[in-house]
């Protein structure tokens, strides 16, 4: 049975490491907002280009990204238009609850049959996608989340691979592509046969933390 739909868009002061844990992130928020002009200038340009070429009216999103700095006030503006988007699609203001990151819930009307709940859930997911795209809301929130979690826009996989090599867990020719494959397939340093090797697992966790 489909009940309340929870929608989550990450915008946090912590980052997820490759091992699936959480590290305290560096807060890159300045007095002016979240600066995308340095480490995320390429990604900023891509989103701006997408918004300009989109047939929808994205003036708010383009205005927010114009100076490359996203302020708290602008995030609140995005939240207001995100809420309005749901209202425009017929949702009562009391039927949903979002924060400025886009995380929140949408509550179904009471008294729905299971079939009606399913239809409601499918429609709500479609509306969410529409509202995410309006003014590039999801893309802008994603940029802010990225600059919070990884302020220097570094590929942490390279650091992990270097550590694995230095710790002697893999050979010197081990690459990021090898790491991606092994992580997905649970092979190589992540294979089940190494699970009981306490020393090995300790070094592996150290590299992934």
Domain ranges of the chain: 5-149, 156-208
pLDDT digits (tens, 9 = 90+) for 70-128: 999 999 999 999 999 999 999 999 999 999 888 889 999 999 999 999 999 999 999 99
Q: What is the pTM of this model?
A: 0.67
* Beta-strand pair 69-70/104-106: unpaired
pLDDT digits (tens, 9 = 90+) for 159-204: 899 999 999 999 999 999 999 999 888 899 988 888 778 889 889 9
- DSSP assignment, residue 139? H
Measured CA to CA, the distance from residue 81 to residue 59 in angstroms comes to 12
Measured CA to CA, the distance from residue 54 to residue 134 in angstroms comes to 10
Per-residue model confidence (pLDDT) at position 10: 34
pLDDT digits (tens, 9 = 90+) for 127-171: 999 999 999 999 999 999 889 888 999 888 998 999 999 999 999
């Amino acid at each position: 049975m489909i009940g309340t739909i929870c929608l989550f868009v990450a915008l946090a002061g912590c980052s997820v490491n490759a091992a699936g844990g959480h590290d305290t992130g560096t807060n890159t928020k300045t007095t002016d907002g979240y600066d995308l002009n340095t480490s995320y200038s390429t990604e900023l340009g891509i989103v701006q280009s997408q918004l300009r070429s989109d047939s929808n009216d994205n003036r708010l999103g383009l205005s927010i990204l114009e100076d490359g700095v996203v302020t708290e006030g602008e995030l609140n503006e995005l939240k207001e238009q995100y809420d309005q988007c749901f209202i425009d699609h017929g949702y009562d203001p009391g039927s949903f609850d979002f924060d400025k990151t886009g995380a929140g819930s949408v509550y179904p009307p009471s008294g729905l049959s299971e079939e009606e709940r399913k239809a409601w859930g499918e429609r709500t997911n479609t509306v969410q996608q529409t509202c995410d795209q309006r003014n590039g809301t999801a893309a802008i929130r994603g940029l802010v989340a990225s600059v919070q979690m990884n302020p220097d826009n570094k590929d942490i996989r390279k650091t992990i691979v270097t550590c694995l090599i230095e710790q002697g867990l893999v050979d010197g020719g081990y690459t990021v592509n090898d790491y991606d494959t092994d992580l997905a397939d649970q092979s190589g340093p992540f294979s089940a046969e190494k699970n009981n090797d306490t020393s090995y697992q300790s070094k592996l966790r150290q590299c992934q933390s």
